[in-house]
Amino acid sequence: MTAVPALAVEELSVEFRTRSGIVKVLDHVGFSVDKGETVALVGESGSGKSVTAFAVMGILDPAGKVTSGRALFGGADLLALSERDLAEQRGREFSMIFQNPRTALNPIRKVGQQIADVLVRHGGATRPDAPRAAVEMLKRVRIPDPERRVEAYPFELSGGMCQRIMIAIALACRPALLIADEPTTGLDVTTQAVIMDLIGELAHESGMATIFITHDLALAAEYCDRIVVMHAGHVVEAAPARELFAHPRHPYSVKLLAATPGETASLAELASIPGGLPDLRRPDLPACRYSDRCERRIDDCVKPLPNRSLGERHIVSCWNPL
């Protein structure tokens, strides 16, 4: 019997209403994350990774609208819940680490107070007990001198420290699902490794499911169990990390990997991906949004895309995979 995934996103479509027209940002996106598993969402900027996370969390911009799909979590469809019910679960059952901690943290509240707010709101802590619990959370994310750091404001801390504060807030109530949206952006390589190790260890301790949104394929390869490749609002390939990096099958995945710096590759060896993302306001968007850039395009590419199973948990959405 197959275990029920922690999160199953099915046929998720999102559009944004803008002055220049309707932008079809996501088109029938689907993937799942098992308990204790880390799944990476990768792809170029504009591929829909963060919008997918915002839709699942129920924090889309007011101009955004979910037009179809489900996000099944804990027996409920998150997309069908009221804002009140979502607010009850956000921070307790599922939480998110945002891309820029300095803008996500409240600049005029001490970091200890911000952790305490979550513990009181969702963790059942009392106001007198919350400060001590906040110190314990700082210890958990390995911030030195936590008794002093709880009294600091975000602007008094480094980028790496602020990111750890964000992790402490996100994990304060031990959620079943964590979404980490580019959690290492702007950090040096050493700090990136520390942050990713920390998220991985805390996830392993609690059996938490994790979605890791990133442009950094090297980080995804090292820390994630499975990779979901997105392009222009489509999931084009999903596979176990080792399988994807060893045998990518979608033409876009191949190009994406070829454009990724390696330990021994020189800049001259890096390949660019020709063309750009299609205009998602077009009323005549092709069935395959990569087709205009693809060297393997065939006549069938105008038809609705198939989901081909190429092995255990390896799915590719393409008429002419490698």
Q: Are residues 6 and 123 in the same domain?
A: no
Q: Looking at residue 312, what is its pLDDT? A: 86
Predicted confidence (pLDDT) per residue in 52-111, tens digit: 999 999 999 999 999 999 999 998 999 999 999 999 999 999 999 998 888 899 999 999
Q: Are residues 46 and 182 in the same domain?
A: yes
Query: Into how many domains does the chain fold?
Result: 2
Q: Which candidate, 251, 211, 252, places its Cα nearest to that of 232?
A: 252
- Supply the range of the domain harboring residue 226: 1-82+177-275+287-321
Q: Are residues 10 and 27 in the same domain?
A: yes
Q: Are residues 64 and 101 in the same domain?
A: no
pLDDT-derived band at 266 (thresholds 50, 70, 90) equals: low
Q: Is residue 280 part of a domain?
A: no
Tokens of 65: 């609208």
Q: Are residues 209 and 314 in the same domain?
A: yes
Q: Looking at residue 3, what is its pLDDT? A: 79
Predicted confidence (pLDDT) per residue in 3-53, tens digit: 799 999 999 999 999 999 999 999 999 999 999 999 999 999 999 999 999
Q: Are residues 167 and 181 in the same domain?
A: no
Query: What's the mean pLDDT in 293-322?
Result: 95
Of 174, 206, 239, the residue at which a domain comes to its end is 174
Tokens of 243: 């399988």
* Cβ–Cβ under 8 Å, residues 280 and 233: yes
Predicted confidence (pLDDT) per residue in 211-257, tens digit: 999 988 989 999 999 999 999 999 999 999 999 999 999 999 999 99
Q: Are residues 74 and 141 in the same domain?
A: no
Q: Are residues 65 and 186 in the same domain?
A: yes
Give the ranges where the chain is alpha helix by DSSP (H).
49-57, 83-89, 101-104, 111-122, 130-140, 146-149, 159-171, 189-206, 217-223, 241-246, 251-258
Of 125, 144, 174, the residue at which a domain comes to its end is 174
Q: Looking at residue 1, what is its pLDDT? A: 41
Q: Looking at residue 77, what is its pLDDT? A: 97
Tokens of 88: 């009850």
Residue 2 confidence (pLDDT) above 70: no
- Give the alpha-carbon dihedral of 107, 110, 114, 115, to 10 degrees: 140
**pTM score above 0.85:** yes
143: left (phi over 0), alpha (psi -120 to 50) or beta: beta
Write the DSSP string, 2-43: PPPPSEEEEEEEEEEEETTEEEEEEEEEEEEE-TT-EEEEE-
Q: Is residue 310 part of a domain?
A: yes
* Cβ–Cβ under 8 Å, residues 196 and 182: no
Q: Are residues 251 and 202 in the same domain?
A: yes
Distance CA 317, CA 307 (A): 5
Of 174, 196, 228, the residue at which a domain comes to its end is 174
Q: Are residues 143 and 182 in the same domain?
A: no
